[in-house]
A and B are shown apart, each in its own frame.
Chain A
Amino acid sequence: MGKRKLLEIKDLTVKFFTEDGTVNAVERVSFDIEKEETLGVVGESGCGKSVTALSVMRLLPSPPAKITSGKILFEGEDLLSKSEAEMRRIRGNLISMVFQEPMTSLNPVFTIGHQISEAIVLHQKLSKKEARERAIEMLRLVGIPNPEKRYWEYPHQLSGGMRQRVMIAMALSCSPKLLIADEPTTALDVTIQAQILDLIERLKEKVGMSVLMITHDLGVIAEMAKRVVVMYAGQVVEESPCEDIFENPLHPYTAGLLKSIPKLEGKKSRLHVIEGNVPNPLNFPSGCRFHPRCFEAKKICGEKMPSLVEVEGNRKVRCFMRGSFPEEVLAIERAGRN
């Protein structure tokens, strides 16, 4: 059983020590990814999804960021105890990342061919010529027409969709075991988004890698992921198999999020609204972090922080009103009234 797990994040806590105070960007986040699985992480801006991903890559700027506790096990080995030199051998080789902005994540002064072969020469110990052949093969694989010619072009000569393909080609050039895709299609148009998602899906099957898909778009999650982790204000609030989360969301936040997306089908009705704003990470609300916006909130929600508990069907939820909590909650509520 345990052998199937590729990446395990255990109780990860990341803090940013800034002039304005301590930002609890990620708090005790745990989840794992199995081999050849696509795990989706959804959440709104500032919920800590990107910080979690950057922690896995050990790419957080420190200071101000500091991983204060937790473990990140990749094939059983703790990435957090690795030296910088060891990490460099892992990054781009075993774990690769695709970023949101294809415009800014390529170096404008080098040809795309140079940038792809750089990683190959470094990690695969191939000669320059072999690396070039491999890079061209990768460009062909991601569907770039005329790869021999494109190899010598600069990023500005490519469109947004093409640049994202180049990023994917680069990320996959060393056949990583894990691909972290942080909002890979957010900056792209829908038709290009469909192409890129299709590409990731096909390549995943071909090279047999796992994908950590970070996005705020529940539609993308529905199409790609097998399991979903929902984050809110630095914490995991729900973890469920993809089908369950859309059919029967457990956490009120997940439910609210799903209801607030305009639907394509059916009669037009008024949109559901989650009142209020995403909380400021410098100053999270007490108790359950979602309680000021939750329509089901009881007294206890503002006082105590619910923990992430396992419920039936391989699901986890952080809410007093779900799972095995209600008994305990009612008792405290009763006590509070007396």
Chain B
Amino acid sequence: MKEQVVIEVQDLVKWYPVKVGILQKVAGYVKAVDGVSFSIKRSETLGLVGESGCGKTTTARCMLRLTEPTKGRIFFEGKDIMKFDRESMRKLRPRMQVIFQDPYSSLNPRLTVKEIIGEALTFHGIARGRELEDRVGELLKMVGLSPQHIKRFPHEFSGGQRQRIGIARALATNPDLIVCDEPVSALDVSIQSQILNLLEDLQERLGVSYLFIAHGLNVVKHISHRVGVMYLGKLVEIADSEEIYKNPLHPYTQALISAIPIPDPKRKREKILLEGDVPSPINPPEGCRFWTRCRYVMDICRHEEPELLESAPGHKVACHLYKC
């Protein structure tokens, strides 16, 4: 039997218009996401890495239809949710949840823990009264907090504990898919590992799928089954996480991996230093978007955009070097 795909994204595009002048004439577009396709299976974690502004978060938001994509198709368990109306979307929402980066600003300071975690349950009519309280207590236990904390406010918790509340909130409606948008970036190193272990345990127990966005590559490698690398709104490489770190094919992935500082002073690696900055997504380079910083740049790269093609089973890369 084929493993069940929870969500599939095809050719997702999100362009933001850039308006100028008093007439708000559209002068161009910020091509935040420009033709991204991937799928996530049940109980699988897909990691998404890339530098700031490469479109990771926009991809995730479009996938959940929190931001309306410009183009593209999204299938949730085989159903095209781009065709869903408001009401059907509302019914689908409990099955897709988000955990945010900043545990300080993502919890409403005026609500108690019970209200924060229980909000979705009440809104979707899943539980109320005594039942709601029990469910919130159960969720708190699940994320390693005490059910006695139910009446407290967010400011009474530390950063790591707040992130646990954020996770409990995401789990409240028994979702099939959780988007984790940089869930550990704002936390201390010793707290990060607590949260990563918790996310792994929950996946094992509940069979939930994650789309895990982060710029910490070692974190992504640790938690993900597969990893996708984005550059300027494009998915440039996607493979199993072991494979992509052992055998990165795209020159950008290679540079990205070689740039991670390794906590071992004896291992002095040859670093691939990329020149310059990421070009503007308003006017990305023609052809391959990476050619301006690529060390293997060829003539073809400057005018022809490479497609994302399979170079080995399960390993896809968008680069002219590997086109045979």
A271 within 8 A of B: yes
Give, as a whole number of angstroms, the nearest-CB distance from A256 to chain B: 7
Which residues of chain B have C-beta atoms less than 8 A from A293's C-beta? 190
Q: Do A273 and B260 have beta carbons less than 8 Å apart?
A: no
B273 within 8 A of A: yes
Docked complex: B182-234 residues within 8 A CB-CB of A: 188-194, 196-197, 200, 215, 217-219, 221-223
Q: Residue on B with the closest CB to A46?
A: B188
B122 within 8 A of A: no
Q: Which of A58-66, A121-129, A257-265, A321-329 sits within the interface? A: A257-265
Q: Do A264 and B260 have beta carbons less than 8 Å apart?
A: yes
Known: A162-B277, A264-B245, A271-B196. A190 touches B215 (CB 8 A): yes
A176 within 8 A of B: no
Q: Do A44 and B188 have beta carbons less than 8 Å apart?
A: yes
Known: A195-B273, A261-B189, A277-B161. A246 touches B264 (CB 8 A): yes
Q: How far is the CA of A268 from the CA of B158 in the complex (A)?
A: 29
B142 within 8 A of A: no
A-B contact count (CB 8 A): 120
Give, as a whole number of angstroms, the nearest-CB distance from A315 to chain B: 15
Q: Do A278 and B158 have beta carbons less than 8 Å apart?
A: yes
Q: How far is the CA of A193 from the CA of B221 in the complex (A)?
A: 19
Q: Do A273 and B158 have beta carbons less than 8 Å apart?
A: no
Give, as a whole number of angstroms, the nearest-CB distance from B226 to chain A: 13
Q: Residue on B with the closest CB to A269?
A: B222
Which residues of chain A have C-beta atoms less than 8 A from B189's C-beta? 44, 216, 218, 257, 260-261
B149 within 8 A of A: no
> Which one of A189, A197, A218, A270 has the highest number of Cβ atoms from chain B below 10 Å of its Cβ?
A189
Q: Residue on A with the closest CB to B223?
A: A262
Q: Do B265 and A223 have beta carbons less than 8 Å apart?
A: yes
Q: Do A219 and B260 have beta carbons less than 8 Å apart?
A: yes
B91 within 8 A of A: no
Known: A198-B273, A277-B160. A191 touches B264 (CB 8 A): no
Q: Which of B158, B200, B259 contacts A191 (CB 8 A)?
A: B259
Q: Which of A223, A256, A262 contacts B261 (CB 8 A)?
A: A223
Which residues of chain B have C-beta atoms less than 8 A from A271's C-beta? 193, 196-197, 222
Q: Which of A221, A223, A275, A278 contacts B188 (CB 8 A)?
A: A278
Q: Do A262 and B277 have beta carbons less than 8 Å apart?
A: no
> Which one of A192, A193, A242 has the highest number of Cβ atoms from chain B below 10 Å of its Cβ?
A192
Q: How far is the CA of A268 from the CA of B219 in the complex (A)?
A: 11
Which residues of chain A have C-beta atoms less than 8 A from B257's C-beta? 264
Known: A190-B256, A222-B261, A264-B217. A272 touches B277 (CB 8 A): no
Q: Which of B193, B258, B271 contacts A272 (CB 8 A)?
A: B193
Q: Do B255 and A191 have beta carbons less than 8 Å apart?
A: yes
B52 within 8 A of A: yes
Q: Residue on B with the closest CB to A189?
A: B51
Q: How far is the CA of A159 from the CA of B200 in the complex (A)?
A: 36
Which secondary structure characterizes the binding site on chain A? helix
Q: Residue on A with the closest CB to B261?
A: A219
Which residues of chain A have C-beta atoms less than 8 A from B278's C-beta? 159
Q: Do A258 and B263 have beta carbons less than 8 Å apart?
A: yes
Give, as a whole number of angstroms, the nearest-CB distance from A211 to chain B: 15
Q: Residue on A with the closest CB to B262?
A: A219
Q: Which of A194, A218, A273 contacts B259 (CB 8 A)?
A: A194
Q: How far is the CA of A169 from the CA of B135 in the complex (A)?
A: 56
Q: Which of B52, B190, B265 contacts A242 (CB 8 A)?
A: B265
Which residues of chain A have C-beta atoms less than 8 A from B218's C-beta? 261-264
Which residues of chain A have C-beta atoms less than 8 A from B282's C-beta? none
Q: Do A218 and B263 have beta carbons less than 8 Å apart?
A: yes
Which residues of chain A have C-beta atoms less than 8 A from B161's C-beta? 277
Q: Do A260 and B158 have beta carbons less than 8 Å apart?
A: no
Q: How far is the CA of A203 from the CA of B219 in the complex (A)?
A: 31
Q: Do B219 and A262 have beta carbons less than 8 Å apart?
A: yes
Q: How far is the CA of A167 from the CA of B245 in the complex (A)?
A: 33
B266 within 8 A of A: yes
Q: How far is the CA of A298 from the CA of B274 in the complex (A)?
A: 50
Which residues of chain A have C-beta atoms less than 8 A from B196's C-beta? 262, 271
B276 within 8 A of A: yes
Q: Do B158 and A277 have beta carbons less than 8 Å apart?
A: yes
Q: How far is the CA of A221 from the CA of B265 in the complex (A)?
A: 8
Q: How far is the CA of A58 from the CA of B221 in the complex (A)?
A: 42
Which residues of chain B have C-beta atoms less than 8 A from A197's C-beta? 261
Q: Do B255 and A273 have beta carbons less than 8 Å apart?
A: no
Q: How far is the CA of A194 from the CA of B190 in the complex (A)?
A: 24
Q: Do A219 and B188 have beta carbons less than 8 Å apart?
A: no
Interface flags for A185-214 (1: CB within 8 Å of B; 0: not) read 000011111110110000000000000000
Q: Do B221 and A262 have beta carbons less than 8 Å apart?
A: yes
Q: Which of A193, A242, A273 contacts B193 (CB 8 A)?
A: A273
Q: Residue on A with the closest CB to B269?
A: A223
Give, as a whole number of angstroms, the nearest-CB distance from A165 to chain B: 10
Q: Do B219 and A191 have beta carbons less than 8 Å apart?
A: no
> Which one of A162, A191, A268, A271 has the highest number of Cβ atoms from chain B below 10 Å of its Cβ?
A191
Docked complex: B45-103 residues within 8 A CB-CB of A: 51-52
Q: Do A220 and B261 have beta carbons less than 8 Å apart?
A: yes
Known: A189-B215, A277-B161. A243 touches B193 (CB 8 A): no
* Known interface pairs A191-B259, A264-B221, A278-B188; 10 further A-B residue pairs with C-beta atoms within 8 A, sorted by A's residue number: A219-B263, A220-B261, A222-B263, A260-B189, A262-B196, A262-B222, A264-B217, A264-B218, A270-B200, A277-B161
Contact sample, A vs B, 23 pairs, CB 8 Å cutoff: A162-B277, A189-B51, A190-B51, A191-B256, A191-B273, A194-B261, A198-B271, A216-B189, A220-B261, A243-B265, A243-B266, A246-B266, A247-B266, A256-B190, A260-B193, A261-B218, A264-B257, A264-B262, A274-B190, A277-B160, A277-B161, A278-B190, A278-B191
List residues of A whose CB falls within 8 A of some B CB.
Answer: 44-45, 145, 159-162, 189-195, 197-198, 216-223, 242-243, 246-247, 256-258, 260-264, 268, 270-275, 277-278, 293
Q: What 8 A-B pairs are tightest by C-beta distance, nearest first?
A: A219-B261, A262-B222, A260-B193, A194-B259, A189-B51, A44-B188, A274-B190, A271-B193
